[in-house]
Structure 1
Amino acid sequence: MSNVDHRPGVKEINLVNRRLRLEGITEKNKAVIVSEIDALLGIEHVSFDESTETLSVAYDATHCDLTGIEALLQAHGADTSNGIWTKIKEGYYKFVDQNIKDNDEHDPHCCNAMPKTLPGSRKK
């Protein structure tokens, strides 16, 4: 799949899928939360499963992160579940998001290139 098949701001190499159980979701705030998350730059797709109260979101981790999505949830009176499994996943997701951002900003260099002048050699 190429980058052309994705929404603007989303590169497949940085695309991550997240599933989190939520608390405090009502009929009033559900549609607002989903539409505001969907409008963020770097979001590929977002959906909410009412039967399991789970938010599914795919995003480019160089443009979005879980902290920003959680802030949006809290602004509308919702939050991630306090369950231990959700908190473990949350920590892991944040760790991976930060690694993706750090790797995207890193400039690779080649350490096995021939030096311009060899040590001990003389110019003729």
Structure 2
Amino acid sequence: MSTNDHRAGVREINLVNRTLKLNTERVKKVREAINEIDRLVGLDSVAFDSDQSLLSVAYDASKVNLTMIEEKLGKFGVEINSGWWTHLKEEYYKFIDQNIKDNAEHTPWSCHRSPPRTKIKRK
């Protein structure tokens, strides 16, 4: 397997890696949440370091965003750390995710592009 192989639905150009600190004492709940997150279309990988309470996810930001992952965590009662550094990173991640999604949906435009061809033949 090469380094460019990803799950189905994941484009490498939109791939982002996120690491978040979680507030949890119950590792079982985190594992259940990870199983739920792992089913998202566009997710490349998800891992949890129980020693440092760090959640690492890699996903296609044009299909998945941090808010979706937070909702899945919240469903199982797992919260993201409320420290100022984690909050700052979280807001930055959301901004970048939205920017990637907007750029993926945008149709490029240029005033230097040739006009569309018509089917009328010139004499």
User: Could you state the TM-score of these two structures normalised by the residue count of structure 2?
Assistant: 0.86
Instruction: Report how many aligned residue pairs link the two structures.
Output: 114
Structure 1 stretches of 4+ moved >4 Å: none
Greater Rg, structure 1 or structure 2?
Answer: 1
Letter in 2 for 1:81: N
CA distance in 1, matches of 2:21, 2:96: 19
What is aligned with 1:98? 98
1:115 Cα deviation after fit: 6.5
1:27 Cα deviation after fit: 2.8
When the two chains are superposed, the root-mean-square deviation of aligned CA atoms in Å is 1.6
Q: Aligned residues: percent identity?
A: 50
Structure 1 unmatched ranges of 5 or more: 117-124
SS at match of 1:18: strand
CA deviation profile, 1:35-88 (whole Å, cap 9, x unmatched): 111111111110000111000000000110000100111110111100000000
The 8 Å contact of residues 42 and 63 in structure 1, kept in 2 or not, is answered as: yes
SS at match of 1:95: helix
CA distance in 2, matches of 1:62, 1:50: 29
Structure 2 unmatched ranges of 5 or more: 117-123
CA distance in 2, matches of 1:10, 1:87: 26
User: Could you state the TM-score of these two structures normalised by the residue count of structure 1?
Assistant: 0.86
